[in-house]
Every structure is written in structure tokens, then in C-alpha cells.
A = this chain, B = another copy of it.
Amino acid sequence: MAQNPHPRLSLNQATTRSAPLAEVVRACAGAGVRGIGVWRDSLANAGPRRVRTLVDDSGLTVTSLCRGGFFTATEAAGRAAAIADNRAAIEEAAAIGAPELVLVSGGLPGSSRDLPGARSQVADALDALVPYARDAGVRLAVEPLHPMFCADRSVVSTLAQALSLISDYPATDVGVCVDTYHVWWDPDLRSSLDSLAGRIALYQVADWVVPLAADALLSRGHLGDGCIDFGSITSAVLSTGYDGWIEVEIFRQEVWDAPAEQTISRVITGFGRLVAPALPLPAADPQPEESP
């Protein structure tokens, strides 16, 4: 199998969701993909220690843990449970060596129509979690989701909004996860990215494919199958000083139905064609094992 020549490419595990983590790690290592973004449900099965050993033994680096968040409880007990669950996620991130825990805020609580109230609930939860994450050495990565998920997945919809939510915390404690799928449409994308210098904790890529899938959540596509201009967004992300991993994260039934090796091969090709040209030459990159 040809070796992936892109040292900053990481595979987010959701892209090969149908395959067990051990198979995905093996396939990544075989293809020369050096990073992997891990999902919590894998840890629930194998336990953080075995997952860490598995990834370490393969020579891969864990680039993120997905995900915490969902601060949508309507009562105090539910809110406390969400904080407890997020503390557990922070511990898991530390245990597997994930530098970032991705946070998805959650949508409107219950049948609420109070969007400002839901947003302030997210701010309260961050306030409770930041000290805990700092102590654990895990950076929180707040991810704005596309506005079509505002009601049911994330009341944080834009990069500017995410930045205003986190700007009171040190950049080393809380950053933003920039995902092309969620932000590509934003008329203020360039200026928002410029404001995020030092604040980008993770950069994820997936394409926007029309028509939307019947389940809109599964509309993300392989790079090149949609309409996103990865070159210009990647350049803007890099111009903020971001020098970390770039995760390819795709939720799509056809992608999940394909064998993991085939998907990883497609990921490498798409990345090479659409993202890599915006990156400095690999030879000039630091080795991602040291300081991605």
C-alpha cells in the first residue's frame, strides 16, 4: 500500500465508524496515516488504557477525543450530571493522551424556545469545566456546528460566537475546533479566522455535499465530492499560526459501508489533492510525533 505522504493528516475515527478501532488503527498505520481522532464509545468498550496501548504500539498519535458537551439539561440534577460526564471525558482524554477534548454544546433544552438562555447555560458549563481541564492538561475545543443543527445539537453556530464564549479563558485552556463542514458558508469566515489566532485547537475537514442526505447529519462527504474550497479555508486557518493536526471527519452512510482501508485510501487522496497544496511542504514540517 502506498504510504501517506502527509504528516499532518489525521483520521477521525467517525469516518470509519463501522470498523473496530483496532482494525482502523492497523489500517492507518499500514497506510502511513500518523494521527487518529478517537470517539468516546470506543473507550467505553475497550477502556482508555487498552486504547492508549493500541494506538501507542501502532506508532500513531491521538489527535483529539470526541466528544463532550451537550449542556442541555433543564434541571439542576441534569446539569450536574452533564458536568460529571464531561469531567469523565476530560479524564479519558488525559488517559489516552488526547491533547484536545472536542465540545459540542447541545441544542435547545427540552421544548425550550429560549436560545439566549441555552447559550448562557453553555457558558456556565464551560466555567465549571475549564479549571478541571486545565488541571488534567487537556485543552477544551469548542466546536461551532452548522446552524442547521442549532435546535438539536449546538446552539453555538459560528466561529465568532465560539470565540466570544471562550475569550475570557487562557488560549492554552480553551480553543475552538474549526470544521469546514460547519463554517464554510459563513460570510464572516475570513475575519473570524483572523480573530482566532492562537485559539484554533483543532482543524477538521469534510466536504458539503448536495442534496443533503435524508438525515442531514450524514451529509458530510469525502473531500472533492462537494463544494467547499479547502485551499482558501486551509490557508486562512494556517495564517492564524495553526500548526496542528488536520482531521478528516466524515459521517456518511456510503462511507461507513465501505471497507476501512478503502475509505482511508480515499481520505489520503482527497487530502493530497485539496488540502495538502495549501500546506508547507512536508519536508519543512516538524515531525508531528513531536509537536503537531
Show the binding face of A for B, using Cβ within 8 Å.
Answer: 108, 111-115, 119, 146-148, 150-152, 157-158, 160-161, 184-188, 208, 210-212, 214-216, 226-229
Cβ-defined contact, A226 with B148, below 8 A: no
Give every chain B residue within 8 A of A214 (Cβ-Cβ): 214
Cβ-defined contact, A151 with B115, below 8 A: no
Give every chain B residue within 8 A of A229 (Cβ-Cβ): 113-115
Cβ-defined contact, B227 with A187, below 8 A: no
Q: How far is the CA of A4 from the CA of B5 in the complex (A)?
A: 68
**Residue from A161, A188, A212, A226 having most chain B Cβ neighbours under 10 A:** A212
Give every chain B residue within 8 A of A148 (Cβ-Cβ): 146-148, 212, 216
Q: Which of B115, B184, B211, B216 contacts A152 (CB 8 A)?
A: B211
Looking at chain A's contact residues, the main secondary structure is: loop
Cβ-defined contact, B208 with A212, below 8 A: no
Give the nearest-CB partner of A118 in chain B: B227
Give every chain B residue within 8 A of A152 (Cβ-Cβ): 210-211
Cβ-defined contact, A187 with B160, below 8 A: yes
Give the nearest-CB partner of A208 in chain B: B151
Between-chain CB contacts (< 8 Å), 14 pairs: A111-B227, A113-B227, A114-B229, A115-B184, A115-B185, A147-B148, A148-B148, A150-B184, A150-B185, A150-B208, A157-B186, A160-B187, A161-B187, A214-B214
